Structure 1
């Protein structure tokens, strides 16, 4: 089965073709970073309009890369949510239109399930049960995966997602948008011994996260310094270390509580090397295996949607005539993926 995957949930237009037997055949991604950078964040209407401009050419280019025509596709998968509703509707409309015109089945994919399954693109030996950490600009979740499609949320952020916290702290430090990669680069020049920020919600039971107090700590610390380049680097280092430690502590706790011996981490923030190293340490000390997608599959992409869509199409799942797009959509509401 060859499946075209379409991702338009936020500010990246992703297209991919996945073959159930041969794996990923081709994928392309257009980022809107330059479009939104002057505004310091994502402008939803601009995001939607850019998806409209980019999606059709990207589909044709990706099919050319794969050496396929539209008629050789066996199914279409698109991100139906969660995300920006206008952006989602672009991918959903194109996905349904293609499916109707070709007489092929179409399936709506949960964006977070795409991220969660992204490590399987390169690690087919990975099978449930496992613990998943999903960290991105809009989400911070610890998820128990007992079988594909059946998810139980163990913990989540009660305020900002971790990626959002990175962007806001980066803005405080004058780093612009997007903040995560710029903050990680600045932190490399920081003195690890100068500041130590709290590891929020790690001294109480539970698996939920909170990063609002950590942002306040950054703001107060910055106000007490001369805000030199070195001051900012030291603060960036302390913030990144606090986030990485917090995620590691919660993952260790979740592994012990569930008894699981496999940890999967995914989402845009998972591209951060300090976080990846800290999670590797957790896995080693807990006798667990760690699976991480390569950095290009951490951010939003069409490959993860094509893969997740292929699994659901193979399981016989299909959409009706109604176009599905949801700004909010719980992972726990999904049906299991069973052949």
Structure 2
């Protein structure tokens, strides 16, 4: 069995996955980090402590799905992005576990960026791992990023990821979570805000704030605050929030395609699991969206990158 273990300990989720290179199948387990009601995330020290408690349980659950593994290599998320100075303490938990496993089994351990893992997981989900060998556009939209990326085949890191557009202030996932908490929804609020938005019948005309190819989203939060004060229905506020983000990403996509040509587009990250956004961009741009389990934080992409690094990707 050519099996490759991936571990990702992000600021939101503890996750582990195994990629079987012979069958091209993945099994994975993940668990959200616990956040108190009304809070907007966790301090890094708290996230690290939660991962330390949750990762052994996740590994035990993964092992129960298929008791015997003969790993060829182990991969882990080492940093948020492939950029100088990109660092987040919570990823140290996954790195420590992965390197310890690798040392005990005398197998290689490879570190990747969390962002690269998101992209690889999305490519696996849409059955387009072949794109790892050509240029394409990737949107990574989550609690910590609203990035448009030009991705090319790389060497050491396999994917050469260059940011070509981003949010200049608030990130899309932050906006969703802040509006969700305003409305009394649990954190992270994405799924709950979407369910609420789908009950709205109001339609909005939105002009996104664009600077070059970058965007600004702080105005979205301010508008939603005013809607709350004005007593607007919660479902309409939720729908406005999602529609504002969709309109912003729509304009960014339009500008990027004009600049870089008609390249394949993949949408990854937790925000991109939203069904409202997905339907719009699939129809308009032929955009490829990962299934929700591979769009939100997960270790599947790290396991795939590990197999590729070892020369075993199908």
Q: Normalising by structure 1, report the TM-score.
A: 0.82
Secondary structure in 1 aligned to 2:297?
coil
| 1:183 aligned partner | 193
Structure 2 unaligned residues grouped into runs of 5+: 81-85
Counterpart contact for 1:132–1:142, Cα < 8 Å = yes
Report 1:107-186 matches (<5 A): 107-122=110-125, 123-124=127-128, 126-127=130-131, 128-148=134-154, 149-186=159-196
The 3 A distance-change label for structure 1 pair 185 and 97 is same
The farther-off stretch of 6-15 and 59-68 is 59-68
Runs of 4 or more consecutive aligned structure 1 residues displaced over 4 Å after TM superposition: none
Return the match for 1:257 from 247, 256, 259: 259
* In the alignment, structure 1 residue 105 sits paired with structure 2 residue 114: no
Aligned counterpart in structure 2 of residue 85 of structure 1, from 77, 83, 88: 88
5+ long unaligned stretches in structure 1: 284-288, 316-336
Asked which structure has the greater CA Rg, the reply is 1
Structure 1 pair 111–137 and aligned structure 2 pair: CA distance change class (3 A): same
CA deviation vs aligned residue, 1:212-264 (integer Å, no higher than 9, x gap): 012112222332x235xxx2222221221121111112112212211133110
Structure 2 residue aligned with 1:328: none
SS of structure 2 residue aligned to 1:39: coil
Deviation of 1:190 (Å): 1.9
The answer to whether the 8 A contact 2:224-2:241 is kept is yes
For the Cα contact (< 8 Å) 1:252–1:282, is it kept in 2? no
RMSD value, Cα: 2.2
Shifted more, 79-88 versus 97-106: the winner is 79-88
Match of 1:16 in 2: 17
- Alpha carbons 2:19, 2:300 under 8 Å: kept: yes
Distance 1:44 1:167, change over 3 A: same
